Structure 1
Amino acid sequence: MSYNVLTGSLPSSLFNLSSLCTFSVHKNYLSGSFLDVDLCHSWPRLQFLSLTDNKFTGQLPYLSNCTELVILSLSQNKFVGKIPVDIGNFKNLEELYLDFNGLTGTIPPTIGNLSSLKSLGLTQNNVKGSIPRDLGRLSRLVKFLIRRNGLSGPVPPEIFNISSLQVIEASDNALSGKFPSSSAVRLPSIEFISFANNKITGHVPSYFANFTKLHSFQVKNNSLYGPIPKNFGSLNLLETLHLGGNQLTGDPGVPTLDFLSSLFNCPFLKELVLSENPLNGTIPNSFGNSSSPLQLFCIDKCQIKGHIPKGIGSLKSLTRLCWANNNLSGNIPESIGGLERLQRLYLGNNSLEGCIPDELCLLRNLGELSLQNNKISESIPNCIGNLNLLQKVFLSSNRLTSSVPLGLWDLENLLFLDLSINSFYGNLPPSLSKLNAIQEIDLSQNQFTGNIPSTIGSLQTLSSLNLSQNFFTGSVPQTFGDQLKGLELLDLSFNNLSGAIPNSLEKLKFLNYLNLSFNYLSGEVPSGGRFVNFNAQSFLENKALCGRRDHCINTDSHSPLLYVDKVWKRKRGKTPSSVEQLTTVEHIVISYQELRRATNDFCESNLLGVGSFGSVYKGILSNGTTIAVKVLKLEMEGAVKSFDAECKVWRTIRHRNLVKVITTCSSPEVSALVLQYMSNGSLEKWLYSHNYCLSILQRVSMLIDIASALEYLHHGQAEAVVHCDVKPGNILLDEDMVAHVADFGLAKNLAKNKEETQTRTIGTLGYVAPEYGSAGKVSKKGDVYSFGIMLLEIMARKKPTDEMFAGEVTLRQWINVSIPDNVLEVVDAGLLSIEEGRDMNATESILVSILEIGLTCSEEVAEDRMDIKDVVPKLKKIKLALQH
C-alpha cells in the first residue's frame, strides 16, 4: 500500500491478522497514534514493518515482543518521545529507521545488543546526549546515520573500529573531541564519512588516506587545525572533499599549497571545498590533466595570494570556481577561456588587475560573473553579448572605463546587473528594454550622461534601480510609475535631472526606498501612495521643489548637508566592517541577492529560529560583517502588517538595549529585516539550557537592560512605542551577555499624550495583560505586565504556560503565596546551587525584593502596576547590593 493517498487512521480490523509477516503503508497520509496498540500481540510473526512518510503521531509503537522483526522503518512521521530502552530486544533486527521525527531523549545503549543490525537511521530528530560506546559492538553495522540531532561529546573510538561500516553520517550535531589515533581505527569498508557542522578539534589524521574505498569525506565547519594531509591524493575513489570552515593550513613555512597538486591527481574528484580556512599560500600551477572531473573548486576566504595560475584552463569539467575574498593579484589569465563548462565564476574581493580577457566570452555556459571589488581596468569585452545564459553580472568597485558594450543590454536572461563605482560613460541605449527578466540594476557612481531611457519602464520585473551619482539629464520618465509595478528601490540622486516628479510614481505600491536628492527637480512633491512614507531626506537640494503643504523643501539647513556629506564619504570610502559602522548612515541598501549570498541561499544550517511570521537566519556579508536576517513568510496572514509595524518602529528608535536594524530588504519574493547579529541567542535558550545556569547578578543585569529599553520606548521620544510581545524569546544576548529587546512585529505607536489604543492583535499567551483580551487595549502598562511575568519566569525558571499552572493557579499566584517565607521553594533550584557561597539570609532578602517588583508589575488592574521608569532604579539598587 505504498505511494497511495490513504488517509485517516489504520482500521482496527487490520490488527486481527495474526499471520501477518509484512506490513508497509509508506508514502501516504495516514495519521493517528499507537498509544493503546500492541502490534506484537496483534502480529506475532511480523518481520517487516514500514510506516514511512505518513503523519503518525505520539509515542513509537510498542514492539518489544516482536522477536522476529527484521526491518523496522518509522521514518518521516511525527513520532515524539524517547527511543524505548527495550528496543535492544529485537535480536533479528537488521534495519532500524527512525529518521525525520520529533524523538527526544538519548540513544539507548541497549541498541548495542542488536547484533544483526546493519542500518541505523536517526537523522533529524531532537536526540541529545552522547553516542553510547556500546554501539561499537554492532559488528555488522553498515550505515550509521545520526545527522541533524543535538548529540554532543566525543565520538567513541569503538565506532571507528567497526570493520563493516560503509557510511558514517553524523553532520549537524554538537560532537566534539578529536579523531582517534590510528591504532584505534579500522574501517576497511568505509565509503562515506561526514562530521560536518560539529565541534570536532585537532588535526585531520593522515590515516584517512588509507581508506581506499572512501569516496566522500566531509568535515566542514568544525574546529580542526594544522596542515591538510598531502596523502589524500592517493584516494583513487575520492569524489567529494569538504574541509571548509576550519583552521586548516598548508605545510608550515611552505608558500605553495602543495597538497593541492596531490589532490588534482585524484581521478574521480568532483568537489573540492576548502573555503574559510587560513591557508595563506599560493596555488600551484599544476592542475593535473585535462581529463580531471573536478566540477566544484572553492577556496574563498582562505588568504590565498599570488596570481591565478595559467594552468587553470585545464579543468575542463569545472562548473563552479569560488576564489572570492582572498588576496589574489595580477591579471585574469587568458587560459580561463578553457573552462568550457563553467557556470559560476567568483573572483570578487581580491586585488586583480589588468583587463577582463576576451577569452571570457568562450564560457558559453556562464550564468554568474562576479568580479567586484578588484582593480580591473579598461572595458568590458564587446563579445559579452555572446554569453546568453548570463543571469548575474557583478563588476562593481573596479576601474572599468569606456561605454558599456551594446551586447550587454541584449542579455535576455540577465537578472542582476551591478556596474557601480567604476568610470563608465556615455548614454544608456533604448535597447536595454531587452533585459526583460532583470530584477536589479545598479549603475551608481559612474559618469553616464544623457536622458534616462523611458524604455526602462518596460522592465516589469525590475525591483531595484540605482542610477545615482552620474550625470543624467532630462526628466524622470513617466513610464517608471506606469509600468514598473514591482519597483521597491529607486535612487536617482546626485544627477542633473529636471522637471517635475511624475505623479505616476504614486502607483508604485511596493516602493520602500526613494532618493531624488541633489538634482534640479521642480514643482510639488506627490502626496499619494507610498510618498506618505518618504520624508525630506528623499528630496534634498532640489532648488525649486515644494512640499505637500506649499512649503518648499528646506535647502539651506546645515543638517541635511552634513548628512549628505556622511553619505558621500561612505560611498567613496571603504566598506564598513562592523554593524556599528553600517548603522551610522540611515539608508544602507543590501540587495536580496546579497542576503542570499550571505545566508548561503537561506540554508537550513544558518537557521537561528522560527517565529509566527517568518524565520531568522545567520549571514555573513561580503565585507565580513555577521548579520541576522529576519525573513517574513508573506503567505502568512498578518505577515505584511507585522513587517510594516517593525519598519515603522525602527525608523524612529535607537537604543543600546534594542537590537539594531541595519536595513530592510523587500522584493516580490521576500520581505526581510537585516539585524545586528546576537551571538548568544535568546534569553529563553539560556534560561532553559541544560548546560548552563545564569547567576542572580546576570539575571538582574539582563532585567535592567530590558527595563532600560522599555523605558526608552515608553518615555524616550515624542510618540511612545508599545512593544506588545515582551517575553524571553524576544530578548537577545550579545557576546557580552548584554540583553537587547527584539521583534517589533506587534508594536504600536501611541499618539502624543495618548495613553492607550485599540488592537485586534495580541501578544504571546501567558504574557498578555488581562486588558488585552478583555478590551483589546494596548498601553505602556501592558508592556509592564509582560515584563513582570517575564521577571517571575526568569527567577523561577518556569514558563507561565507550564503544565503545573492549570485551572486557577498561575505563575504569579504560585509565587505570590510563597513570599516572603517560602521564597527558596519557588526560585530556580539551579540558581541557588551556584550561589552557595553567599549569605543565605541576604540572598533570600534580595530574591524577595526582585520578585516583589515582578508581582507589582503584573498586577491584575493596570493602574496598580509600576511605571517602567520606576523599575530601573529599583533593579539598579538591587544590582549594587549583589556586587558587595
Structure 2
Amino acid sequence: MMLVLMMLIERPSILLLLTFLLAQPCILHLTESSNNFTDQSALLAFKSKISFGPNDTVFSAGNWSTITNFCEWFGVSCSRRRQRVTALNLSYMGIRGTISPHIGNLSFLISLNLRNNSFYGFLPHEISHLRRLRKLQLSNNLLEGTIPPTVHNCQKLRYFSLEGNKLNGTIPSSLSNMSSLEFLNLETNSFTGPFPLAIFNLSSLMAIFITENHFSGTLPIDLCSHCPHLRILYISFNEFSDHCQIKGQIPMGIGSLKNLNTLLLNGNSLTGTIPSTIGGLESLQRLYLDENKIEGFIPEQLCQIKNLGELSLSNNRISGYIPDCIGNLNLLQRLNLSSNQLSSSIPSNLWSIENLLFLDLSWNSLSGPVSPNLRNVDVIEYINLSHNQITGNVPSIIGSFESLRYLDLSKNSFQGDIPQSFGQLKGLDQLDLSNNNLSGEIPKSLEANPYLKYLNLSFNKLSGEIPFNGPFANFTAESFIGNEALCGNPIFGVPPCTSPSSHGSRVKQILLIYIVPVIASLIIFAALVTMLRRDRQCNMHIPSLPITLPEVDHRMISYQELCHGTNNFCESNLLGIGGFGFVYKGILSDGTIVAVKVLNRQLEGAFRSFDAECKVLRSIRHRNLVKVISTCSTPEFRALVLQYMSNGSLERWLYAHNYCLNLVQRVSIMVDVALALEYLHNGRSESVVHCDLKPSNILLDKDLVAHVGDFGIAKILVENDTTQTQTIGTIGYIAPEYGSEGRVSTKGDIYSYGIILLEVFTRKKPTDKSFVGELNMRQWIASFPDRMKVVDDGLLNIEDGRDVTAMKTILSPVLELGLRCSEELPDERLDIKDVVTQINKIKLAILGNRNNGV
C-alpha cells in the first residue's frame, strides 16, 4: 500500500486521472440533473404565462407542479433514457395566455402542439433554438406579429402550421432554406406582400396551404416543378395579380405534378384559360378554380383525370359547352360550373355519373331539354339548374332520386305539368320551380312531403286548387303568386274554388263505375302473365343442384331458392344498391329472412371482387360484423347471402325525420363499431382494413345492435405491402393520406371512425353544404369553445331532463375522442384498442349517471 501511495505522489498525473474516473459518475449525474432541471424550469415558466385554463386535468393539484416528475405531467412526453422533454401537446384545451420564450430551452423538443387554444401575443423568437423540432402546430389561436426570420434554424422541421391566427407582415424568404419541410399551413391569417416563390422549389414539400391572406404578385411559370412529392396545393382567396411573367394564367407546367391530390386556386384574380396540360394531373381528386377571371372553354383533357371527385369552376368567364366526356368521370361527387357563360345543352351522359352528390349548373346560358334518357341517380342530394334557358318537360324520373334534398329549376322555360312523382321525394326540403311555363294542377302528392320547408311555384301558368295538407299548412302566398288560375284557401292570396259542375261529376262517376274496373282487371291479368313467364324463365336457367364456392363452409343455397325467396328478384324486394350490385330482401325455404347481395356482372372487376371477398369472409366471425350465411355462384350469377338487419342503416336513423336516437343508443352503436374494428384490425393473424367505413355501411338489427357490413372491399395487409389504389373510398370519410398517397392502413379506418363519431353527435355529414372552402367538420367543431353548441338539437331535446353539467361532462369527451381519431397525421391517431377503452368508459359513465337518476 505504501508503495502504491509513493508511486501516486511521484506521478501526480496518474492521481488526477484516478480522481477524474472516480468522480465521473457524479459529474454525469449532476449534468443530467441540471439538464432535467432546465426542462422543468422551462415548463414551469411556460405555465406561468397561462392566464386561463378551464380544463382541470391540465394544471390540477399534483399536476404541473414539483410534487410529481415533470415527465408525468399532462401533455408532456419524455425520452426514456435521458428523461428529457421530447413532446408537448396541449391542443384543444381552451387555454388562454402567451407563449413563454423559455420554450426555447426545451432543447430536445421534437413536437410542439398548442393548436385550438387562445394563445395570443407574439410568436417568440426563441422557438428558433429548437434545433431538433420536427412538428410545430400552433393553428387556431390568436397569435399576432410576424414569423421569426430565424425560424429556418429549425432545419429538421417537417410540419409547420400557423393556420387561423392574426399574424401580419411578410413571409420570411428564409423559409425556403428549410430543406426538410413537408407540410406548410399559413392559411387564414393577414400575411401581406409577395409570397416567397423559392418555397415552391422545396423538393421535400408534400402539402402547402396559403389561402385567405393578402398575398400579391404572380404564380411562377414553373409552379412546383421541383416538388415531386407534392400532394396538396391550396392557394385560394388571395390577391395574385394579372401582370408580369405569366399574366395571371394557370401555369402550363401544372401538369407535371403527377402526384398532386388536391389543387385549390379559387378566390384569386387568375386570368387566361385552363391549360390543356391539366390532364396530366393523374392523381388529382379535388380541383377548385372558382371565383377567378378564367376564360375560354373547358378542355377535353380534364376528362383524363379519372380519380377526380370534386370539380368547381364556378364564378368565372368560361364559355362554350360542357364536354360530353365529363360523364366518364365515374368517381365525381361534386360538380359546380355555376355563374359562367356556358351554352348548348346539358350532356346526357352527365346523369350517368353514379356517385354524383352535388350538381350546380345555375346562372349560365344552357338550353334545350333535359335528356329524355335521364336515368335514376340514387345518391344525388343537390341539383341547381336555375337561371338558364332550359326547355321541355320536367323529367318525372327525378321523383325517384330518393336522396334528393334540394331542387332548383327556376328561371328557365320548362313547360307541362309538375310530375306527380315528386311526392316520392321524402327527403326533399327545398323545391323551387318558379318563373317557368309550367301548367296544370299542383300535385296533391306533394302533401306527402312533410319535411318540405321551402316551396316556390310562383310565376307559372298553374291552375286548380292549391293543396292544404302536409307542408302546405306552413306556406304563404309568396309560394304561388303569379299563377292566375289557382284557387283555394284565401291565405294563399287566391279566390276560393267553385264546386265542380254536374257534368264533371257525371264523368267522374262513369270513370269510377265502368272504366277503372276494366283497366284494373287488365293490369292484374298482365301482371299474372308476366309472373308466370318470369317463373318459367327462372326455372329454365336454374341448375338443379345447389352451387356454392367449394372453399366456403356455409349452408348450401341454390339459385332456385334465392329466385323464389326474392320473388324473382322483384323490385319491391330491393333494399338498396351498393358499389358492386343490388341487395334484395329474401326468405329462405326454412323461413329465415336474409339480405341477398347480387353482383352486377357488367361492372368491371365485380366477380373478381366477389372471389376476393369470399376468401376474406370465410374466416371472419364477430357479433358486430354482418354475418355471411352463404354464397351462391353460377357462371353468370354470384351472390352473398347475408344476415338481414331489420332496422336498416345508421345513416337512415340519423337523417330520417321520424327517427331519433337517444344518448345511450348513439354511444352503444359507436361501441359496437369500435369492437368490430378491433376484431378486424387485431382479432386475426392478418389485419383487415375496411377502407370504406361510413354510416350507410353500419347496419342495425332489431335490438339496435350495430353490425359493420360491406367490408368485402377491404384488403388483407401483408407485411411490407400496404398500398393499393383501386378505390378512393367515400369523400368526407376517407383519410387524408389515402387520398394523397394511396396509403391504406388501419389508421385510415380510425380516421373514418372519428368522422362518424363526430357526425353521430352533431347530426352533420362531413360533406354538409355549410362546410365550404377550407372549413371542414373538424375545424367547425374546434371553432366552438363551448362544444355543446355543435351537438344535435334533436339529441338535446330527447335528453332534456338530464342535468346540463352531466351532459357536458359526457359529450365533451365524445367529441374530443372524435377529434383525436380524425387527426390529419396517421401517427397522431389513437390505436383501436385505446378507442375501445375510451368509448366504453364513456358508455359506463352514461349508464352510471342514468342509474343514479342524473
Question: TM-score normalized by structure 2?
Answer: 0.51
Return the match for 2:140 from 172, 175, 182: 172
Deviation at 1:79, TM superposition (A): 2.2
Question: Is the counterpart of residue 79 in structure 1 residue 56 in structure 2?
Answer: yes
Supply the AA of the counterpart residue of 1:126.
Answer: G
* 2: CA distance, partners of 1:598 / 1:513: 36
Whether 1:197 aligns to 2:164 is yes
Find the partner of 2:772 among 578, 583, 597.
597
Structure 2 contact 399–419 (Cα < 8 Å) conserved? no
CA distance in 1, matches of 2:778, 2:84: 37
Counterpart in the other structure of 2:10: none
Deviation, structure 1 residue 152:
1.3
Secondary structure at 1:499's aligned position in 2? strand
| 1:246-296 C-alpha deviation (Å, 9 max, x unpaired) | 111224xxxxx216x232431111111111111123234433555611111
Deviation at 1:359, TM superposition (A): 2.4
Cα displacement string for residues 859-883 of structure 1 (whole angstroms, at most 9, x for unaligned residues): xxxxxxxxxxxxxxxxxxxxxxxxx
> Which residue of 2 is the match for residue 335 of structure 1?
301
Q: How many residues align?
A: 475
Q: Is the 8 A contact 1:409 1:434 kept in 2?
A: no
Partner of 1:3: none
Checking the alignment, whether the CA contact within 8 Å between 1:91 and 1:115 is kept in structure 2 is no
The counterpart of 1:304, out of the listed 257, 260, 270, is 270
Q: Which residue number in structure 2 is paired with residue 637 of structure 1?
A: 797
Q: Deviations over 1:333-391 (max 9, x none)?
A: 11111111111111111111111111222211111110111111111112212211111
Once the two structures are TM-superposed, the CA of residue 297 in structure 1 deviates from its matched residue by 0.8
Residue 771 of structure 1 corresponds to which residue in structure 2? none
- 2:220 aligns with 258
Q: How far does the alpha carbon of each residue in 1:18-69 deviate from its partner, in whole angstroms, 9 at most, with x for none?
A: xxxxxxxxxxxxxxxxxxxxxxxxxxxxxxxxxxxxxxxxxxxxx99xx9xx
1:268 aligned residue: 229
SS in 2 for 1:497: strand
Residue 185 (structure 1) shift: 4.0
Check whether the contact 1:130–1:151 (CA below 8 A) recurs between aligned residues.
Answer: yes
Are 1:242 and 2:417 an aligned pair?
no
1:594 deviation in Å?
A: 5.4
Aligned to 1:516: 480
Task: Determine which of 93, 98, 111 is the counterpart of 1:125.
Answer: 93
SS in 1 for 2:772: helix
* C-alpha distance in structure 2 between counterparts of 1:181 and 1:610, whole Å: 32
**Cα shift readout 1:405-447 (whole Å, capped 9, x = no counterpart):** 2354532221110000100000123322331211111000100
Which residue of the partner structure matches residue 567 of structure 1?
none
Shift of 1:515: 0.4
Amino acid at match of 2:210: L
TM-score, scaled relative to structure 1: 0.50
User: Which residue of structure 1 aligns with residue 75 of structure 2?
Assistant: 98
Alpha-carbon distance in structure 1 between the residues aligned to 2:143 and 2:441: 62
Task: State the shift of 1:127 in Å.
Answer: 2.3
- After superposition, the Cα gap between the structure-2 partners of 1:170 and 1:512, relative to the gap in structure 1 and judged at 3 Å, is farther
- 2:560 is the counterpart of 1:385: no
The residue that corresponds to 1:470 in the other structure is 436
1:141 matched residue in structure 2: 109
Structure 2 letter corresponding to 1:488: K
Cα distance in structure 2, aligned partners of 1:267 and 1:613: 43
2:411 paired residue number: 445
> What is the identity, as a one-letter code, of the residue corresponding to 1:274?
I
SS at 1:636 equivalent: helix
Which secondary structure does the structure 1 equivalent of 2:298 belong to? coil
Q: Does structure 1 residue 420 correspond to structure 2 residue 389?
A: no
Asked if 1:150 is matched to 2:118, the reply is: yes
> Which residue in the other structure is 1:294 paired with?
260
Residue pair 2:401, 2:425 contacting (<8 A) in 1 also: yes
Structure 2: which amino acid aligns with 1:258?
P
Amino acid at match of 2:232: E
Root-mean-square deviation over aligned CA pairs: 3.6
The 1-side partners of 2:326 and 2:419 are apart by 29
Contact 1:490–1:513 at 8 Å: present in 2 too? Answer: no
Structure possessing the higher relative contact order (Cα contacts under 8 Å, 6 or more residues apart): 2
Residue 660 of structure 1: aligned partner: none
Q: Is the alpha carbon distance of 1:134 and 1:610 closer, same or farther for their aligned partners in structure 2, counting shifts above 3 Å?
A: closer
Q: 1:632–1:639: 8 Å Cα contact kept in structure 2?
A: no
Distance change in 2, residues 1:227/1:598 (3 Å): closer
Is the Cα–Cα contact under 8 Å of residues 232 and 262 in structure 2 kept in the other structure? Answer: yes
- Conservation of the 8 A alpha-carbon contact between 1:418 and 1:442: yes
Give the aligned partner of residue 684 of structure 2: none
Aligned to 1:406: 372
User: Structure 1 residue 136: deviation in Å?
Assistant: 0.8
- Read off the aligned partner of 1:393 and give its amino acid letter: L
Unaligned runs of 5+ in 1: 1-62, 68-75, 100-113, 252-256, 527-535, 547-591, 616-630, 641-884
Q: Structure 1 residues 367 and 277 mapped into 2: Cα distance closer, same or farther (>3 Å)?
A: same
For each residue in 1:706-748, what CA deviation from the matched residue of structure 2 results, as whole angstroms up to 9, or x when unmatched?
A: xxxxxxxxxxxxxxxxxxxxxxxxxxxxxxxxxxxxxxxxxxx
- What is the SS of the residue equivalent to 2:277? helix
For residue 374 of structure 1, what is the aligned residue in structure 2?
340
| C-alpha distance in 2 between matches for 1:167 and 1:214 | 10
Quote the Cα distance in structure 2 between the aligned partners of 1:317 and 1:513: 51
Q: Which residue among 211, 218, 221 is the counterpart of 2:188?
A: 221
CA 332–90 in structure 1, closer or farther in 2 if over 3 Å, else same: farther
1:858 counterpart residue number: none
* Partner residue of 1:320 out of 286, 300, 306: 286
* 8 Å contact from structure 1 (residues 306, 330) kept in 2: yes
1:431 aligns with 2:431: no
**How far is the alpha carbon of 1:598 from its aligned partner?**
7.7
Q: How much does 1:190 deviate?
A: 1.0
Q: Distance in 2 between matches of 1:91 and 1:139?
A: 21
Asked if the contact 1:427–1:451 (Cα under 8 Å) also holds between the matched residues in 2, the reply is yes
Q: 8 Å contact 1:613–1:639 — kept in the other structure?
A: no
CA distance in 1, matches of 2:773, 2:206: 27
Spell out, residue by residue over 1:184-232, the C-alpha distance to the aligned partner (whole angstroms, 9 max, x if none): 6411211111111111122222222222221111111111112222222
Q: Distance in 2 between matches of 1:116 and 1:609?
A: 34
TM-superposed deviation, 1:147: 0.8
Stretches of structure 2 that go unaligned for 5 or more consecutive residues are 1-39, 45-52, 77-81, 243-247, 499-766, 801-854
Secondary structure (helix, strand or coil) at the match of 2:147 reads coil
Aligned to 1:492: 457
Aligned residues of 1:489 and 1:514 also touching (Cα < 8 A): no
d(CA) in 1 for partners of 2:784, 2:160: 28
Corresponding residue for residue 153 of structure 2? 186
Distance 1:290 1:513 in 2: 57
Q: Is the 8 A contact 1:165 1:190 kept in 2?
A: yes
Give 1:673-684 correspondences, 5 Å limit.
none
Pick closer, same or farther for the CA change 1:488–1:601 going to 2, 3 Å.
farther
Identity among equivalent positions (%) equals: 27
**Structure 2 Cα separation of the partners of residues 262 and 599 of structure 1:** 22
Residue identity matched to 1:222: N
Opposite residue 190 of structure 2, the aligned amino acid is S
2:323 to 357, 369, 390: 357
SS at match of 1:393: strand
The structure where helix makes up a greater share of residues is: 2
**Is it true that 1:525 corresponds to 2:492 in the alignment?**
no
Paired residues of 1:420 and 1:443 also in contact (CA < 8 A): yes
3-state DSSP of counterpart to 2:452: coil
Q: Are the counterparts in 2 of residues 474 and 499 from structure 1 also a CA contact under 8 Å?
A: yes
Post-superposition shift, 1:97? 4.1
Task: For 1:721-870, list aligned pairs within 5 A.
Answer: none
Task: Report the Cα offset of residue 476 of structure 1.
Answer: 0.6
CA deviation map 1:820-854 (0-9, x unaligned): xxxxxxxxxxxxxxxxxxxxxxxxxxxxxxxxxxx
Residue 188 of structure 1 aligns to which amino acid in structure 2? Answer: Q
Instruction: Kindly state the Cα deviation for residue 143 of structure 1 after the two structures are TM-superposed.
Output: 0.8
